[in-house]
Structure 1
């Protein structure tokens, strides 16, 4: 029984080490344009760049851009950059004034799904 008491803390420590890596998800670290950013119409983004805390699986990751009227805006092909941690998509058409919503969903390389959204505004 004494031997088991010595093994218990070791087993607990090992299980914590393995579960902490299992809790990892790809979280949005930064975006361009940033959440709640206001950009001038002349400087409206030609690309959307979302940077995550982990590498992504491109086949199961993507984003939508909704215009001020909540209609989806057609975007270019998504691509990964920065060792798979950045998701970049081109915006082929000029964005007019208004509030835009970016909705994203990603699958990290370790198999965890996350999703979210944020807003930015193009000023007239």
Structure 2
């Protein structure tokens, strides 16, 4: 039984170490990923799976022509990043984000949402 106990302890230790060094991934967003909104949102809010570093985290929102429609710098609070938007006409918008988690791992991604016509 001693070998089994050691094996279980080693697996639990490995699992804890892996969890401690996980990356910050996008959990969900508002507007939702791939959604169509009936009215133009005033901001994009991104929710991450871990705390992120404000100084090294960015988000850009652009229209179908690639023109930026976000305003100002993103605001970061623990696991949330938000950025204001200009007045958006109907169309498709692309959100591209890049974050550095508190454990120094970086992740990035993008998604689109649409504003109804």
Matching residue of 1:25: 23
Quote how far apart the aligned CAs of 1:21 are: 2.7
Which consecutive aligned stretches of 4+ in structure 1 deviate over 4 angstroms post-superposition? Answer: 5-8
Matching residue of 1:123: 116
Matching residue of 2:83: 89
Q: Does 2:40 align with 1:44?
A: yes
Query: How is 1:72-87 mapped onto 2 (pairs within 5 angstroms)?
Result: 72-81=68-77, 84-87=78-81
Quote how far apart the aligned CAs of 1:55 are: 0.4
Unmatched tracts of structure 1, length 5 or more:
none
Q: Normalising to structure 1: TM-score of the pair?
A: 0.81
Q: Over aligned residues, Cα RMSD in angstroms?
A: 2.1
Which of these two proteins has the greater Rg computed from alpha carbons?
1
- Equivalent pair of 2:92/2:112 in contact (CA under 8 Å): yes
Count the aligned residue pairs.
116
Quote how far apart the aligned CAs of 1:13 are: 3.3
- Equivalent pair of 2:69/2:88 in contact (CA under 8 Å): no
Quote how far apart the aligned CAs of 1:70 are: 1.8
